[in-house]
Amino acid sequence: MPTTDTVAPSGSGFASASVPRHLARGGVGFGALIAAFALVPVFGPATLLLAPVGLVALRGCPMCWAIGLAETVSRGRLRRECTDGRCELKPASR
């Protein structure tokens, strides 16, 4: 019996509510990480306190943020269809 489900469910751990919100989190996260290390020669080691801010904004790691971006963009546009133990991604029918 073929089964069909959505690839990025609404409760996904990486995806955000919207693409602009996800991009804003990325801007804050990557900006804080870059500033943390780039400003050390100017302001000293205290700027390294920006690194945890960046990691929190990215929810742990830059790769997790990138995976979340892909999930956020594709949410509702793809579906997984499994038949006889073989699954494929197909565009969701609207």
- Residue closest to 37 by CA, chosen among 28, 49, 46, 48: 48
State pLDDT tens for residues 20-77: 999 999 999 999 999 999 999 999 999 999 999 999 999 888 998 998 898 888 877 7
**pTM (two decimals):** 0.68
| pLDDT score of 94 | 60
Q: Which residues of 18-44 are buried (b: 16+ CB within 10 A; e: fewer)?
A: eeeebeebbeebeebbebbeeeeeeee
The predicted pLDDT at position 72 comes to 85
Q: Calculate the dihedral angle through the C-alpha atoms of 87, 80, 24, 44, rounding to the nearest 10 degrees.
A: -20
What gap in Å lies between CA 4 and CA 78, rounded to an integer? 10
